[in-house]
Amino acid sequence: MAIATINPADGRTVEVFDPLDEAAVERRLARAQSAFESWRLTTFAQRAELMHRAAELLDQTNEQVARTMTLEMGKPLAQARAEAAKCAKAMRWYADRAEALLADEHPAQEDVRDSGGASAYVRYRPLGPVLAVMPWNFPFWQVVRFAAPALMAGNVGLLKHASNVPRTALALEDLFARAGFPQGCFQTLLISSSAVEAVIRDERVVAVTLTGSEGAGRSVAAVAGDEIKKTVLELGGSDPFLVLPSADVAAAAERAVTARVQNNGQSCIAAKRFIVHTDVYEEFLSAFTERMRALTVGDPAAEGTDVGPLATEQGRTDLEVLVGDAIGHGASVACGGARPDDPALADGWYYLPTVLTGVTPRMRIHREEAFGPVATVYRVADLDEAVAVANDSPFGLSSNVWTTDDADRERCVRDLRAGGVFFNGMTASHPAFPFGGVRRSGYGRELSGHGIREFCNVTTVWSGS
């Protein structure tokens, strides 16, 4: 795949970039190693000052950054502005809290004595240059939620971004440079996917984090495993959205629309499978379908657009194949199920917000991730069936449950196989809460104290006298 900015709203190639050659990659790896040797010795206060400066610069350039994201991957402009603001918030959160999150830990004195020691503590030390292989769907946020904690911990970052968001990748490098981070602390590698293996195998790269497809995760994890290097993987998701009898159905239907079509439906944590108790099924389906049908599909740079184009033509094709397979096996289309017929949108990679009912395990969409504005709605008889359908997925990123019943809540926390359970709302990431999944959604955690410690050497320091 070429490294290029292609506007998904009209299919037009805006700019093509030459990938770095081996010599250029070598220079950047050497620069990263050199930067780490000095950066790891800086104080938390020094790091925090630069991180705050980066956040301020990002706020100042919010509109420019947002328009770059919208141009490259089709995110509605209002959502792009919100993404940039969220990144600045995360930078400040880690700048203010990293020192406390990585403070020395002291075991109970009785345990120290039992070990035969006079004193002992645990210290979190940085590992070195970490490679981040990042996707296009949240092109700033996915990177910042790695970079902010990694840099505050004393590591340095190397970014291999998705090939369709090169302007965003370069803007990220420029942001940290303008904030005053030393040369080599954060660098973008404009390289093809085929060049990633060599970077992972380089002895100067100590760990890898990847957000992306299951296939990409398998490939990166295999190479890193062969080199015995730490990895964190955040992969696909097909999150359930349970609506139970005690729910506020109108509120659930309203939030369900946002949960499904945020980022044009191209979000790992978007709710994709709506599992509704039979007692409230008709009410929910009617309200949900009406709201999905009413969304404005159009130019992502226009202020009133709710749903823009998919980021790639292949992505739309893949979505059409999934929907076609479901219809061919008996699913019903409550709304959407096709490209828009507006001639003004014909050159872009648009797809109408879609609601499918009557989905069964025979259909691919039952177990595969639909990466676009397509929702599947299931009718279930009781909570047992709701949990069974929710868990009938290879993924386990997050989940959403609408109920006011305490017993329902406890049952869902106990039994839903996912990295998060969100009640009476929709899954969202926040710097304070760990983010990640189980099963084929990956392993490890980003954000919170768990995220900043993922790429640290957890060091036991023991003294006998």
> DSSP for 103-124?
--B---HHHHHHTT-SEEEEEE
User: Is residue 158 within 8 Å of residue 207, measured between CB atoms?
Assistant: no
Which residues is 4 bridged to in the sheet?
Answer: 16
Q: Which residues are catalytic?
A: 234, 268
The two three-digit tokens of residue 410, written as one number: 């406890």
Question: How many residues can be counted in the chain?
Answer: 465
Rounded CA-CA distance 267/174 in Å is 26
The 8-class DSSP code of residue 20 comes to P
Q: Which residues of 414-425 are buried (b: 16+ CB within 10 A; e: fewer)?
A: eebbbbbbbbee
Q: Does residue 111 contact residue 139 with C-beta atoms inside 8 Å?
A: no
- Answer whether 154's CB lies under 8 Å from 123's CB: no
Beta-carbon contacts of residue 316 (< 8 Å; ≥ 6 apart): 309, 310, 339, 349, 350, 351, 372
Look up residue 194 and give its amino acid. S
What are the structure tokens assigned to 304, written together?
A: 């009133």
Euclidean distance between CA atoms 101 and 180, whole angstroms = 24
The number of C-alpha atoms within 13 Å of 197 and in the hemisphere containing its C-beta is 7
Return the SS3 of 172: helix
Tell me the β-bridge partners of 355: 335, 375
Look at strands 239-243 and 271-277 and give their pairing: parallel
In this structure, are residues 224 and 206 in contact, taking their beta carbons and an 8 Å threshold?
no
